[in-house]
Structure 1
Amino acid sequence: MAITGKNRRKIILAAIIAGIILTGSAIYRWTHQDRSSTASSFSSSFVVRRGDLTMSVTESGTIKARNAVEIKSQVEREATIVSLAPEGSYVTAEDVANGKILVELDSSGLRDNINQQKITFNSAEADYTDAKESLIIQKNQNDSDIQLGLMNVKFAGMDLQKYLGEETADAMVGRYKTDPNQRSDITALLDDPNQLGGESLQRYRELTSNIDLAKEELERTEEDLFWTQKLYDKDYVAESELKTAELKAKRMKIQWARAKTSLTLFIRYEFAKEAEKRFSDYLEAERQLERVYAQTRSRLAQATSRRSSSEARYLLNKEQLERIEKQIEACTMRATEPGLVIYASSGSRRFSSSRTNIEVGVQVYERQQIMTITDENEMDVDVKVHETNVDKVRVGQSVKIVIDAQPDKVFAGEVFKIAPLPDPQAFFGNPDLKVYTTDVTLEGANKSIKPGMSARVEILIAQLADVLSIPIQCVANRAGRKVCYLVTNNGPKEQVIQTGVFNDRFVQILEGLQEGQQVLLSPPRLMRAADKSPKGKADTTESKRGSKKKRKSDSPPSTSAPDGSKEPVQKAEENATPGGGMPDPMKRMDANGDGKISMADEVPEQARQFMVPLDTNKDGFLDKKEMAAAAKTFGGGSGRPQGNQGRPQ
């Protein structure tokens, strides 16, 4: 039958109440026992011995598998469990090789989505292919356009050089590039025709030659006309010959004038027009080349952008398709390692009110653990070490392990991991409790040991060889000193000692004792000064005889110390209640008067286990606040008799 949280609290409350009752009873008996019982306790002694002393830390732990494969849901949305491998079944190596299905989730919704996603993906893939080819075409077209532009610039420059000459054309282009706003006066080039070259120079020379030839022809015809006129006047030639000579001279004159006009037209119009046209053609070719560069960059950017956007859509749809395919694949979880099948609802969440039972038909969310495949051949122990002991634990320390299911067998182990921070899960039960998760190996594990079993772990801190030791209950605190009581013929003798390290049973003695000496197992309590006075002794004797008179403790206490010295016994006065009532357990147990009770030194061993729950801050001491809180919770009062109530006779 599972223990619910409510039942657990009732059990703990009952245990604490029982501990308080037993503790109060033990304290009452311890502080009110007669001198005869104190004397009889002298026979319970221990012989100081020399030997090995083992220092250890003992904590409870839980068995867990060292190698455990967690099976979690990888489906992005909630999914319903369709089938499950039976809990407690064992996955063999053959099952792993055959790909045995451990968990299967419902994938019908995902299969509907994948068909639509495939259509979208195919469309995106076609757009991406078209964009890639268009980019290649655009790059080739850009290269062609650029080459054509370069060729046009080259040809335009050659035409300009052909007409004006290479030097003149280069000079014009250079001046323009230096200052585009300053255009050269092309007609000024004819001021010195020798600086021209190419077709313009050839044309200029042709025109000037025509003028010279026409002039010479004119002069020759005019001379012929002159002599023909002479001969005509002397009737040596006919009139027709004279007319012919005149006509010829007139024709040569016209031809000479025409040649001069052609030169003028060439200089004023033809040369300027042709030179300007060819220079402008060259400049336009360069501008066109710049436009081609800009257009090619723009078209290339557009094609690249289209390719990038289509590629992004393609990859996005591809990723979505692959994700849906992986989601469908993740709905079927197969065995990857051999081991024992344990459902997640059977693990550490079994006491949680929000736990989810793992079974067919239950919906699980993403990353929710469904089951664990544990390897039973290698087991570890998960130990929670209290913060007061964690500084003593080191990796590599040897460990003794006793499993509750096999109490007659002790397993060996070793500390291999210590958490750097406290376990956060412990804060929910008790915010003041801080424990550190420590992993311990378990050697010699067998199939009868199951994960989740409880174990008792003893971590061996140190092994001291050849040291003096006595039981820890032999030591008491007296006036800030650690003392024990030697057994002598004259009764117990207080002996100041210096202690070293200690474990749950024995403490190391550094100074004050020798091997073979006998010490009391139960140090005598500090008696009230009234018990040392003669009147007090009489009251004790009278009490033994059955007298029902009150103790003389109602009278003022003696000012002598219990050992007979003249020191004030202030602590004895503080421990006695007004009117001789029952002593305050807090003050009675606080032997050194520091205002708190040491669990190790001032609490009797038989009552220690019942006082531990009262130590809420786990510092190893009970202060007045903790005692008052315990009394208020379980007793509703201060926890001591009031008024003149005496102890029972």
Structure 2
Amino acid sequence: MGAVGGGAVWIANSGEKGGESLTTALVERGPMLVSVTETGEVTAEEREVITNTARWSVVIKELAEEGKIVKPGDLIIHMECKELDDAMLDQALDVDTADRAYQTAATRLIVARKTMANKVSKAEQAVTDAQDDLKKYVEGEWPVQLAETQSKILLADEELQLARHTLKTMLEINKDPELGQPYSDSEIRNEQLKVTRLELNLKKAQDEKAILEDYTHKRTVRDKETAVKDAQLDLETARLEAETEIRLAEGTDASAKMRLTKQQDRLKELREDAEKLIVRAKKAGLVVYETRRHRWQAPVTVAVGEEIRPNQQLMIIPNMETLQVETRVYEAIREQVEVGQRALIRLDARPGRVIEGHIGKVAPLPNTQNPWLSPDVKVYPTVVKFKDNADLEGLKPGMSAEVEVILAELTDVLSVPIASVFAIGEATYCFRADGQGGYERVRVTLGRTSETRAQILEGLEAGERVLLAPPPGVRVGKKAKTEAEAGPPGPPTTAPATAPAGNERGRERERPGPERERTTPPATGEPSSRPARITMSP
């Protein structure tokens, strides 16, 4: 018995013949399907969550039966709330009271604006009148008064000069002896009195002018200027009073309007809550009673007459037109999976039926599949879309599915069952049967591999047969790895495939439970017409 390093293969009998019947498989030439299979679950991309969105505890009055397919506009649930009805009635009364208060405040604001505008207008007119009075006096009355005074002085002076001349003439005539004193003493005295009176009149006119210029004129100007200032002060006061009164009226109006708006908003909210008591389907979907957002939450009974708290989830309505399959892709083959890639979907509820689909989305970042048992194993959440016009009758969210992602579709290639390929040291081998019950070890060069088939590039020919298990007396410690285990395919090599991200022991821990049944072509007989596929265990 000899040991071969690396592959942990011990060959007890290296002869080419054996006496026992060995199980063999045919080396086939034809199409080979390289794929990876993973479990998944049917989900709906779009779904409507039905929740008691009202802020009141309600009682279910009517609801759609679970499992019913509803159409847009169909009644899903009808709830009622007596407390909400009473609150709406009380709030309507509050709105009416607030509206009347607002109308009163608005009317008072209009009156205040008109009243204050009229008051300010009168004050402005008073200023204008005072300014006009001052201007009229300075530019009109004062020059007239001054001219009249000056005229009085001139007339008095003229009359005085005339009287003085007359008196002088009378005195000169009386002094002439030849004339015989024609004017009597009384006439002379009267003329002298006249002169004296006229002198007094002139003095009076001159004094009046002085008083007018020095006192009366200045006082009148001061009085009228004061009147202008008083009018301007009254105008400023009127404007301030108007501004204050209008501001108070506007504040009262704004407060009343704000209270009205608040009451109206409150009534609107209550009415919106009332509208939320009746829920109708927005799109076609399946009624599913689901009251728990999280698994740790206790379920709530969804039935007529049951009381429902605010924000309590009641059911979900998956959109049956947006069904898809959620699955996962291991990190080792992530680079081989792209959006739009072909996929085959098999449903546990429909044995033997295959539905065409394609990769719709691959998450940009991986998740840890099981953070406790296998923290190093990373998977990418993946969404598979059904092909357009696919027959999805009877499919429902939550159904178990198996997704086969097609990594490559090879044509006219040699392939053997993966069970017939073994790693010995740094090379890979098959045990070729000679048709006489014996075998020989043949070194082979592998191409693409799956969990059921391996592409043979060199070492075998079509029609030959290879052993599906080690020959008698040979113990094999390791078989050749599949692409799902080894990662993306590289150039052809005879060395064993590289290990996936994370150690192999971690991958073994990542797959608890019984293995999924794997299918392989018949050990004997003609080549299978269906390409081989790989089924990955979760």
Give 1:210's aligned residue.
152
Range 315-324 or range 239-248, more displaced: 239-248
| TM-score, normalised via structure 2 length | 0.74
CA distance in 1, matches of 2:57, 2:374: 34
8 A Cα contact 2:345 2:403, kept in partner: yes
| TM-score, normalised via structure 1 length | 0.63
Give 2:391's aligned residue.
445
Relative distance call for 1:159 and 1:424 in structure 2 (3 A) is farther
RMSD: 4.4
Shift of 1:482: 4.2
CA distance in 1, matches of 2:45, 2:255: 50
Give 1:504's aligned residue.
451
8 A Cα contact 1:599 1:621, kept in partner: no
CA distance in 2, matches of 1:488, 1:32: 19
Which amino acid in 2 is paired with 1:410? Answer: V
Give 1:88's aligned residue.
67
How many residue pairs are counted as aligned between the two chains? Answer: 483
Give 2:300's aligned residue.
356
Which amino acid in 2 is paired with 1:60? Answer: T
Shift of 1:511: 5.5
CA distance in 1, matches of 2:308, 2:328: 31
Relative distance call for 1:326 and 1:470 in structure 2 (3 A) is same
Relative distance call for 1:42 and 1:379 in structure 2 (3 A) is same
Relative distance call for 1:373 and 1:472 in structure 2 (3 A) is same
Give 2:440's aligned residue.
492
User: Equivalences for 1:202-601 in 2 at 5 Å?
Assistant: 202-229=144-171, 235-345=181-291, 352=296, 354-374=298-318, 379-420=323-364, 434=379, 436-441=381-386, 444-445=390-391, 447-479=393-425, 481-487=426-432, 491-495=439-443, 497=445, 499-510=446-457, 515=462, 518-522=465-469, 589=477, 600=485
Structure number having the greater strand percentage? 2
1:127 aligns with 2:101: yes
CA distance in 1, matches of 2:190, 2:473: 176
Give 2:83's aligned residue.
109
Give 2:53's aligned residue.
74
Give 1:550's aligned residue.
none
Which amino acid in 1 is paired with 2:440? Answer: P
Consecutive unaligned residues of structure 1, counting only runs of 5 or more, are: 1-29, 166-197, 529-587, 602-614, 631-649
8 A Cα contact 1:427 1:434, kept in partner: no
1:56 aligns with 2:12: no
Shift of 1:214: 1.2
Relative distance call for 1:503 and 1:63 in structure 2 (3 A) is same
Shift of 1:437: 4.6
Relative distance call for 1:367 and 1:329 in structure 2 (3 A) is same
Percent identity at matched positions?
A: 25
CA distance in 2, matches of 1:447, 1:340: 13
3-state SS of the aligned residue for 1:60? strand
3-state SS of the aligned residue for 2:505? strand
Which amino acid in 1 is paired with 2:450? Answer: N
8 A Cα contact 1:41 1:522, kept in partner: no
CA distance in 2, matches of 1:133, 1:412: 74
Which amino acid in 1 is paired with 2:89? Answer: N
Structure number having the greater helix percentage? 1
Shift of 1:130: 2.8
8 A Cα contact 1:62 1:455, kept in partner: yes
Consecutive unaligned residues of structure 2, counting only runs of 5 or more, are: 1-7, 487-498, 514-538
Relative distance call for 1:402 and 1:92 in structure 2 (3 A) is same
Shift of 1:319: 0.8
CA distance in 2, matches of 1:334, 1:523: 66
CA distance in 2, matches of 1:428, 1:152: 94
1:162 aligns with 2:162: no
8 A Cα contact 1:475 1:482, kept in partner: no
CA distance in 1, matches of 2:508, 2:370: 23
Give 2:523's aligned residue.
none
8 A Cα contact 1:484 1:520, kept in partner: no
8 A Cα contact 1:600 1:620, kept in partner: no
3-state SS of the aligned residue for 2:287? strand
Give 1:10's aligned residue.
none
Relative distance call for 1:500 and 1:266 in structure 2 (3 A) is farther
Which amino acid in 2 is paired with 1:381? Answer: V
Shift of 1:441: 1.9
CA distance in 2, matches of 1:374, 1:231: 146
CA distance in 2, matches of 1:117, 1:361: 27
8 A Cα contact 1:377 1:446, kept in partner: no
8 A Cα contact 2:369 2:379, kept in partner: no
Which amino acid in 1 is paired with 2:65? Answer: P
CA distance in 1, matches of 2:86, 2:334: 56
CA distance in 2, matches of 1:156, 1:215: 38
3-state SS of the aligned residue for 1:52? strand
Range 244-253 or range 223-232, more displaced: 223-232
CA distance in 2, matches of 1:428, 1:307: 67
